[in-house]
Amino acid sequence: MTRYKIVVEYDGGGFVGWQRQANGPSVQAALEAAIREFCGESVLVEGAGRTDAGVHALAQVAHFDLAKDTTPETVMAAVNFHLKPAPVAVLSAEAVAGDFHARFSAIRRAYLYRIVNRRAPLALARGRAWFVPQPLDAAAMHGAAQALVGHHDFTSFRASECQAKSPVKTLDLLSVTRAGEAIEIRAEARSFLHHQVRNFVGSLKLVGEGRWRAEDLRAALAARDRAAAGPTAPAAGLYLTEVGYPGG
């Protein structure tokens, strides 16, 4: 039995999320079906992050075990062949130690949230960014965001259905930058609460519009009450961009 680590890219628009569910297609199920077609084995593919419906990934990490004697190169090519036409691609595959776990071995996760800030509606970026027509002050958003960096109780930015044992997390990075009409919000931490990044973005949009000041964001954090923070930003703008592991 060999354990394989794969890095996966996908467009989450047509999926109910990463995790296998009865109410529609998932990325996990698509990968498991492709592996079964490749080698006849029914495997459990475990991912580093359980992305929600509509959320994309540039570099999701997952692992699974195979009894078949093969190579990482064959695994990548064969799984990609059987994934067609699903918008999922295995970018790399490697054999790893049997104690490697895509989720529990991870020490860092990075997300990107994309906003397109212009008057004209989206054509090419539809389903892959949040369209915000009213002007946003990205510098003000970045300045306010720094109040959230560090070790905090993030109850105000946690979904009601979040299953994490504690709302206390350490946020290592939260940055907001603008390049023309595109605003990029990047967040990094060991792990995140359910909807945490999207709830950050919804609150930062209020700052960008001038409806909130940095003090309002700090007050929302201190309230430890989901009702005190801004709305949840749409899933379409969110991307899992990187998962880090010891020694990597």
DSSP letters spanning 161-190 = T---S-SEEEEEEEEEEEETTEEEEEEEES
CATH 3.30.70.660 residue window(s) in the chain: 108-244
- Residue 161: pLDDT over 90: no
Work out the pLDDT band at 121, boundaries 50, 70, 90: very high
Are the C-beta atoms of residues 109 and 48 closer than 8 Å to each other? yes
Average pLDDT value for residue range 14-25: 93
- Residue 56: pLDDT over 90: yes
- Residue 248: pLDDT over 80: no
- Residue 181: pLDDT over 80: yes
Q: Which of 246, 240, 247, 245 is nearest to 60 (CA)?
A: 240
Q: Say which amino acid occupies 96.
A: V
Average pLDDT value for residue range 235-245: 98
Cα-flanking dihedrals φ and ψ of residue 168, to 5°? Answer: -85, 120
pLDDT of residue 65: 97
Does domain 2-96 fall under CATH 1.20.58.190? My reply is no
- Which residue is associated with the tokens 């595959």? 93
- Residue 206: pLDDT over 80: yes
191-to-62, 111, 131, 220, 244 alpha-carbon distances in Å: 16, 11, 27, 21, 11
Residue 151 has what DSSP assignment?
E
pLDDT of residue 99: 97
pLDDT tens digits, one per residue of 97-113: 999 999 999 999 999 99
Q: What residues pair up with 150 in beta bridges, in sequence order?
A: 171
CATH 3.30.70.580 residue window(s) in the chain: 2-96
Q: Which two tokens stand for residue 40?
A: 């006849």
Q: Which two tokens stand for residue 112?
A: 């990107």
Q: What residues pair up with 88 in beta bridges, in sequence order?
A: 10
Select which of 11, 52, 69, 137 is catalytic. 52
Dihedral angle computed from the Cα positions of residues 176, 164, 191 and 240, in that order, rounded to the nearest 10 degrees: -70
100-to-59, 64, 108 alpha-carbon distances in Å: 17, 10, 15
Whole-number mean pLDDT of the chain? Answer: 97
CATH tag, 108-244: 3.30.70.660
153 is catalytic: no
Range of weakest confidence among 5-9, 136-140, 162-166, 199-203: 162-166
Average pLDDT value for residue range 161-173: 94
The DSSP annotation for 29-49 comes to HHHHHHHHHHHS-----EES-
Look at residue 2 and give its three-state secondary structure.
strand
